[in-house]
Structure 1
């Protein structure tokens, strides 16, 4: 397609002037993507129709379509290539790249988060535990361009489908691997690492999980009682998917903790958060109303109220985020949907007390304005348990506040993140 051949030629010429320095490509590619204004000249359907009817295509990368639904290579050069990535699913994992370049939103819009990971413990080259921190978040409209450096850790949630992005990238940067995925709040894992015996064992365990007549939990427990930490992560991942709840996974988590100690708490926190996120995305997939879908995308992807308020303010600048949130929650009400029944007056008043920054005790004391204080005191322990439970539902990010230093500019913290990784490694 001529528009991409011209873009590829311009990038090739500008990058050659830097002696093909991989560190220069993000700046070069981002600049050329902005100048090309592709989103005003072509859309994703036109690209799709061209690719389907073209007699020849550039050499195609990623035929397994591991990233993109599917990815389409539209320019193939000696040292870099250009893809159009089509998306029908909303979310990409939080990840860092094994390449350099830049991307542009061609169609749709996206929620873009940038993160820093501070390692606490190096399990091995492919697996760390630590602290994952959201350091920047923004809404990307059509035409938005983001440089990709190999120390960028980010996520991209596509708010409308279908969505398409144009990616300019190197084939690989040797000093950028491994290409981690991050599981908030506490795990970094190399998704491309495969150990042959462990992979086969996990496939057999998966068979046991899917074969209802087999004792999956008993087999998983036997493995966890003797497994190394990396294998423990893989097995617990299957356990959480199989049982579908933190409570259901607890007995097998206890076996892992008996073998490996407190580090299992980091693994369990990440797997529990993944359960919560998947539940929100499942609800979002069943809803068509755009405002509710936007709200659920925020709940699935952002860790705290400050980031959620910022994105609501950006999308709806004439509304108070607090008012929008309450209205959306009342529309989504239900223990079987969002996890809380807001038609119950006591539950609603307690939750909105927590939403406004109150502690569990504050929220309960505030109920005395509406109900007999003696009755509230008599139910205090039950109400405290209820408040604690509400903090663990799909709505947990709404009841979490960022620390004062959060959501700052990314440059310095990325440099510290890289230095910390080097110290731990």
Structure 2
């Protein structure tokens, strides 16, 4: 396997040298080389792993925490080739300080492309703006995608199979394209490599207060928010949001932050709410191994409306109606007990006086109703008063399944 990557590296090096090591040309060179001799067809993954484990003569390995793990297969002062293994990984929405191309060697992924508009720098490490999805696609084994350094290539990947493996041909670093921002929809870009040690220690100390159930927690956070600058205040808000919500003090502290920072703070609440939504789905995937169900989770995390979700389901399963495929997944993921039914994190409302044995049929019928547009109420839901149907709608709307009834 070393011979394959050595040949690939030499091919890239010669072509790049012929183009005077142009950074602008490198993504095309890398993509062309990967497509001409695709790893998915020429690399035996088991043989590669065995060789790497038993042969000490390997390229220099980085200290990167990216991948699960990252393995360098070819190294040159100007660029290198890495294999990234993904067990349950979902990348943050991010850009790169390097360029090149990546190739899906094993598995598949949902690939979402974004843009960042109306950008306003609060500090060099935190910017405000509008994070908007441009395109979402299914990447299957054998697909190669170019990587453009900087904000022209903002994307995220949700890996479906375990493991998924990508081969990346990349430059060491493209000067002037940093920082390598991560993006928090819908309004925040931040530098994940910026280290504010004082804020880190303060968050750790707040954890001590939370774990010891100190009654002064909310009061101290409120005092911090009213005195800190925007960037540090945001990180404290993000860190303490869960415990403040449990204490019933979140709105008070958020209002104080908004009052201090005015219009600049208007996008903080929806951004933090979206962080909670995405984290909830990331946590679900840790105990959901079926690639079909992980595909469903990827759509629930990344797609913003029902129409686009159904289009992607059709792309993957063209021989079945998309709505029926979604309903099959929902039924497979349903947890039915003596107490009632839940689907992922959506539960049948406790406010409704419906026997537990009748709840599954009603809950699934309601989901189908919303998924199909929710116009005429079917006979199966007539037993629910209008207020009851609204309660069921609210249960879905506040869960990871919210997109299934979004237009």
TM-score grouping bracket, smaller chain normalisation:
0.7 to 0.9
Residue 370 to residue 103, structure 1, CA distance change in 2 (3 Å) = closer
Residue 302 of structure 2 is matched in structure 1 by: 301
Residue 239 to residue 232, structure 1, CA distance change in 2 (3 Å) = same
1:184-205 Cα offsets, whole Å, 9 max, x none, are: 2222111111234333333333
Select the structure with the greater relative contact order (CA < 8 A; seq sep ≥ 6): 1
Aligned counterparts, 1:258-337, within 5 A: 258-333=259-334, 334-335=341-342, 337=344
Per the TM alignment, residue 15 of structure 1 is displaced from its structure 2 partner at its CA by 0.5
Contact between 1:90 and 1:160, CA under 8 Å: does it hold in 2? no
SS in 2 for 1:225: helix
Contact between 2:160 and 2:291, CA under 8 Å: does it hold in 1? no
Residue 194 to residue 281, structure 1, CA distance change in 2 (3 Å) = closer
1:343 to 340, 348, 359: 359
Residue 370 of structure 2 is matched in structure 1 by: 354
Contact between 2:96 and 2:180, CA under 8 Å: does it hold in 1? yes
1:36-92 Cα offsets, whole Å, 9 max, x none, are: 22111213333222222122221222x1x4211121111111211111111112311
Aligned counterparts, 1:164-175, within 5 A: 164-175=165-176
2:393 to 387, 395, 409: 387
**Residues in 2 aligned to 1:344 and 1:202: alpha-carbon distance in whole angstroms:** 42
131-140 vs 334-343, which moves further: 334-343
Greater strand fraction, Structure 1 or Structure 2: 2
Per the TM alignment, residue 212 of structure 1 is displaced from its structure 2 partner at its CA by 4.2
1:299-342 Cα offsets, whole Å, 9 max, x none, are: 12322223322221121110111111223223334447331339
**Residues in 2 aligned to 1:153 and 1:113: alpha-carbon distance in whole angstroms:** 9
Contact between 1:246 and 1:272, CA under 8 Å: does it hold in 2? no
Specify every segment of 5 or more residues in structure 1 that has no aligned partner in the other structure, as ranges. 402-425
TM-score, normalised to structure 1, is 0.83
**Residues in 1 aligned to 2:248 and 2:398: alpha-carbon distance in whole angstroms:** 12
Residue 163 of structure 1 is matched in structure 2 by: 164
Specify every segment of 5 or more residues in structure 2 that has no aligned partner in the other structure, as ranges. 335-340, 349-357
Residue 117 of structure 1 is matched in structure 2 by: 116
**Residues in 1 aligned to 2:45 and 2:279: alpha-carbon distance in whole angstroms:** 28
Residue 367 to residue 219, structure 1, CA distance change in 2 (3 Å) = farther
204-213 vs 187-196, which moves further: 204-213
**Residues in 2 aligned to 1:67 and 1:244: alpha-carbon distance in whole angstroms:** 32
1:207-230 Cα offsets, whole Å, 9 max, x none, are: 434444574433322211212111
Residue 38 to residue 289, structure 1, CA distance change in 2 (3 Å) = closer
1:123-164 Cα offsets, whole Å, 9 max, x none, are: 222222222222122211222100000121111111011121
265-274 vs 91-100, which moves further: 265-274
Per the TM alignment, residue 270 of structure 1 is displaced from its structure 2 partner at its CA by 1.8
Residue 370 to residue 241, structure 1, CA distance change in 2 (3 Å) = closer
Q: Work out whether 1:371 is the aligned partner of 2:365.
A: no
Residue 260 to residue 107, structure 1, CA distance change in 2 (3 Å) = same
Residue 32 to residue 288, structure 1, CA distance change in 2 (3 Å) = closer
**Residues in 2 aligned to 1:285 and 1:312: alpha-carbon distance in whole angstroms:** 22
Contact between 2:81 and 2:167, CA under 8 Å: does it hold in 1? yes
Residue 138 of structure 2 is matched in structure 1 by: 139
Q: CA RMSD for the aligned pairs? A: 2.7
Aligned counterparts, 1:28-47, within 5 A: 28-47=29-48
Q: Work out whether 1:396 is the aligned partner of 2:364.
A: no
Aligned counterparts, 1:178-197, within 5 A: 178-197=179-198
Residue 55 to residue 214, structure 1, CA distance change in 2 (3 Å) = farther
1:356-408 Cα offsets, whole Å, 9 max, x none, are: 334xxx57xx3799538xx94xx54x75465345322211222334xxxxxxx
TM-score, normalised to structure 2, is 0.86
Residue 8 of structure 1 is matched in structure 2 by: 9
Contact between 1:132 and 1:185, CA under 8 Å: does it hold in 2? yes
Per the TM alignment, residue 26 of structure 1 is displaced from its structure 2 partner at its CA by 0.3
Residue 229 of structure 1 is matched in structure 2 by: 230
Per the TM alignment, residue 25 of structure 1 is displaced from its structure 2 partner at its CA by 0.4
Residue 256 of structure 1 is matched in structure 2 by: 257
SS in 2 for 1:261: helix
Residue 94 of structure 1 is matched in structure 2 by: 93
Residue 370 to residue 206, structure 1, CA distance change in 2 (3 Å) = closer
Aligned counterparts, 1:17-32, within 5 A: 17-32=18-33
**Residues in 2 aligned to 1:110 and 1:320: alpha-carbon distance in whole angstroms:** 22
